[in-house]
Amino acid sequence: MYSGILVLDKPTGISSGEYIRKLKNFLTTEKVGHAGTLDPLATGLLIACLGQMTRFSDYLADLSKSYEVEILLGSQTNTGDIDGEEIKKTNFIPSENDIKKVIKNFIGEINQIPPIYSALKYKGKPFYKYAREGIDIKIEPRKILIHQINFISFYENILKLEITCGKGAYIRVLAEDISKKAGSLGTVVNLRRIKSAGFGIDNSIIIDELNHDNFKEKIITPGDALQRLDDIQCRPEIIEKITKGQKVEMKLTSEDKFLRLFDKKKNFVGIIENCDGFIKPKRLLTID
């Protein structure tokens, strides 16, 4: 049975769920999921989680991601991207210098109102279903973190940026908000995720490249998949206590809240929580 991740390069025109379901051709009873959804329009890095790694997918999804986005200025659609219907238009196009000044306002912790065309849920029902039914719902703003915005180019009303952000940020909304702050309108025409959870697009694969001979060698093991978390190795007696659900007194040098736990043979055991002088199990591999 396989457990680990595959770092995939998702093509445009297909949902994240549909794309990873193609992996079922190589699996038997393994569960399959993903860490961080990409819209059908978007391309790029999609982390597929196999087997027991599906239990750790949220730890990957919580880590920072980087995108390259192309924004058409002067137009706005109902979905925030080129797949939607144009609802507003303007002839005003800001200068490159004005755009560079505006970008600075969006770095750090900011409020963002999630888009109505999203998979977030209200009363158990995805936002996009309300949108398709023409039902208005109140969407509250959320705090998100934008680590960095790099200006790449601005040509023929197409603004290209590289954005590094934390969990929960919607690049479509950010594109609209940047455009609005600059006095114009904007809609995403291309979106590509280039980094996620410490993995880069250069090391990704496409599912069509996989076959039954190379599938296993492409899988990154759970311990390595969570590489952005600090790690700790423990003696057998400590491992035994942790696997029994007990907490252990231990002062760690790492200030991270969650760490990878390995035994002395460097076998990955799971994730532990750092609790001010104690460690305790958070999420462990199950033993078959």
Q: Domain extents for the chain?
A: 4-63+198-225, 65-193, 231-284
The answer to whether 189 and 81 have CB atoms below 8 angstroms apart is yes
To the nearest 10 degrees (0 to 180), the angle between helices 171-181 and 96-103 is: 120
**pLDDT of res. 270:** 96
Give the β-pairing of 108-112 and 142-155: antiparallel
Q: How far is CA 248 from the centre of its chain?
A: 32
- Overall pTM > 0.75: yes
Half-sphere exposure in the Cβ direction for 233 (13 Å, CA): 5
4-63+198-225 and 65-193 agree in CATH topology: yes
For residues 282 and 258, the answer to whether their CB atoms sit within 8 Å is: yes
At residue 138, the pLDDT reads 80
Across the 288 residues of the chain, what is the mean pLDDT of every consecutive 10-residue run? Answer: 94 95 90 92 97 94 94 96 95 96 96 80 75 80 96 97 95 97 97 96 95 95 94 94 94 90 94 92 86
CATH classification (class only), 65-193: alpha beta
Residues designated as active site: 39
Would you tell me how many other CB atoms lie within 10 Å of the CB of residue 2?
17
Q: Vertex 202, ends 197 and 206: CA angle to 5°? A: 90
Residue 170: per-residue pLDDT? 93
Superfamily designation of domain 4-63+198-225: Pseudouridine synthase (3.30.2350.10)
- Residue 288's pLDDT is 59
pLDDT of residue 131: 73
The CATH number assigned to the domain with range 231-284 reads: 2.30.130.10
**Following CA atoms 179, 157, 66, 149 in sequence, which dihedral angle do they give, to the nearest 10 degrees?**
-60
